[in-house]
Amino acid sequence: MALLITADQVLQGPAGARIKDGAVLVDGSAIVAVGPRGVVEALAGPDVERSDHPGATVLPGLINCHVHLAFDAGPDPVGTLGDTDDAALALGMADRARQLLAGGVTTARDLGDRGALAVRLRDTIAAGDLPGPRILAATAPLTPPGGHCWFLGGEVDGTAAIRDRIRRNVAAGADLIKVMASGGQMTPGGAAMWESQFDTEQLRVVVDEAHEAGLRVAAHAHGTASIVSAVDAGVDSLEHCTWLTDGVPDEREDVAARIVEQGIHVCSAMSPNWRAFIERLGPERAERSFARLRWMDGLGVRLVTGTDAGLPFSGFGDFVGALGLYEYLGFPLERIVEMATTRSAEALGLTDETGRLAPGLAADLLVVAGDPTTDLNALRDPALILARGRRHQNG
Ligand SMILES: [Zn+2]
């Protein structure tokens, strides 16, 4: 079934790639043509179904590179998860996936769930049986015994256990491997967030085993030492990348240069509630923490977008709110759209599938009133959401 979408402008994804008075032709799950309205109309023929949107923008569906579908975004997601059996958890995860899609997210990377339930949900959505974004699932994140998020089932002690865990994740259908290179904030009794949980040698084993299976490695790393180890080990993305030593900011320019050189993507995973972060830390410390994003960007580090959805007060429906942080930091809006689409697709290894509007790619797209490159709020409440060609109706 073909669909011709026309609008005042088409943003193809990369900053600067803009077609005024443009059109996108979709056939089934794929994009067939993108270009000026007249050209695409001629290709489509007179009988095609039309969806005309004066005053609107067509752009690629958004990509959230850091979510946890297993967490409910309530005040105590870990406690709630512990009290929820797999059947109820699967229902909650399906509902949260639907919320992501309703907010314009057509691809989400799940960086840690329980029992590989995100793999089942991924396949159900892909089969068209439930609404939701394309999901990449890390399944159980690797962590030392009792370490950060141990309750997700990925505890490993020593290199043999690391290899075994990765093989189990691969067998369960994982799309990538997540490793908790440093401690975090939500595991009682675990390492402090800046403390390393694995040494460089162990992280090398993680990368070696994952790459052997053709999977990328995402490393959760708050501490500078853990960032250095992860970069030495050759991970593919750094999550949070907070640059802390003993709780104090400690950025290293030589390491940032290697992040750029090695093509490692960085996802800050800041929630849509980032203003509360300012209130909690105070403006000075918050600014010091946010400044690392500007600093990395200035050095050429490839930043991508994610929200840690599922953590307390990081809901699944407000991706646009999280993008607002980058506007606050002074990023041009066109670049924010690029980060949330094309760059994030690169980070996930999906450039042949999504992240741009181009012939042959999946029909993951949004139609929004107005122009998100002059007002990000235009991304809220899209008039049309297509995920792999399927129309999602909000409300
Ligand atoms: Zn996370």
- Domains along the chain? 2-61+356-392 (2.30.40.10), 62-347 (3.20.20.140)
Summarize pLDDT for 108-130 with one digit per residue, the tens.
Answer: 999 999 999 999 999 999 999 99
Terminal-residue alpha carbon distance, the chain = 24
**Is residue 57 classed as helix, strand or coil in its secondary structure?**
strand
Confidence at residue 212, expressed as pLDDT on a 0 to 100 scale: 98
Residue 287 has which token pair?
A: 């600014």
- Nearest by Cα to 345 from 68, 96, 108: 108
Cα–Cα distance measured from residue 366 to residue 391, given in angstroms and rounded to the nearest whole number: 10
Confidence at residue 103, expressed as pLDDT on a 0 to 100 scale: 96
- Rounded to the nearest angstrom, the distance between the alpha carbon of 180 and the centre of ligand 1 is 9
- Nearest by Cα to 240 from 269, 203, 280: 269
In the β-sheet with 62-67, what is the strand arrangement from edge to edge? 62-67, 105-110, 134-137
* Lowest-pLDDT range of 127-136, 181-190, 192-201: 181-190
- Rounded to the nearest angstrom, the distance between the alpha carbon of 268 and the centre of ligand 1 is 10
Split at pLDDT 50, 70, 90, the class of 185 is confident
Summarize pLDDT for 339-369 with one digit per residue, the tens.
Answer: 999 999 999 999 999 999 999 999 999 999 9
Split at pLDDT 50, 70, 90, the class of 394 is low
**From the CB of residue 43, how many other CB atoms can be counted at a distance below 10 Å?**
14
Average pLDDT, integer, range 293-303: 98
Instruction: State the chain's mean pLDDT as an integer.
Output: 96
DSSP class of residue 140 equals S
Asked if the model's pLDDT at residue 228 lies above 70, the reply is yes
- Rounded to the nearest angstrom, the distance between the alpha carbon of 240 and the centre of ligand 1 is 8
**Is residue 386 classed as helix, strand or coil in its secondary structure?**
strand
- Rounded to the nearest angstrom, the distance between the alpha carbon of 54 and the centre of ligand 1 is 39
Asked if the model's pLDDT at residue 27 lies above 60, the reply is yes
Asked if the model's pLDDT at residue 7 lies above 70, the reply is yes
Cα–Cα distance measured from residue 332 to residue 355, given in angstroms and rounded to the nearest whole number: 19
Split at pLDDT 50, 70, 90, the class of 89 is very high
Per DSSP, what are the bridge partners of residue 249?
244
Say how far residue 250 (Cα) sits from the centre of its chain. Answer: 25
- Nearest by Cα to 138 from 166, 170, 178: 178
- Rounded to the nearest angstrom, the distance between the alpha carbon of 284 and the centre of ligand 1 is 25
Asked if the model's pLDDT at residue 276 lies above 60, the reply is yes
Asked if the model's pLDDT at residue 38 lies above 80, the reply is yes
CB distance 250 to 271 below 8 Å: no
